[in-house]
Amino acid sequence: MGSEMCIRDSTVTVPEKTIEKGDVDGDQSISVNDAVVVLSYYAKKAAGQDVSQDETFKNILVGDVNDDGEITVEDAVAILTYYAKKAAGQDATWE
């Protein structure tokens, strides 16, 4: 299900980008940077800052890796754990 746009009477379908759970920065890999983005989001929200217009957080919903409906420090820890297991050649899951 992509978006459509009209370019000189031609219609082009642009596929929507699928972002993997935990890939908050959208670079198609789970890394330490994803955890850093989650922690930055959490800190700014905790400080009462408006993060709604910050492009850094456009994919923040995939950072809720424990599916509790909130972006918290626990999500960042889970992302780091996932990354460490993958880096060590172990099986990594979100459970």
State residue 68's pLDDT score.
95
Distance CA 58, CA 46 (A): 18
State residue 64's pLDDT score.
96
State residue 47's pLDDT score.
96
**Hey, what are 65's tokens?**
């890796």
- Full-model pTM: 0.81
State residue 1's pLDDT score.
46
Low-confidence residues in the chain, pLDDT < 50: 1-8
CB 19, CB 26: distance < 8 Å: yes
State residue 17's pLDDT score.
73
**Hey, what are 38's tokens?**
């989650």
State residue 6's pLDDT score.
42
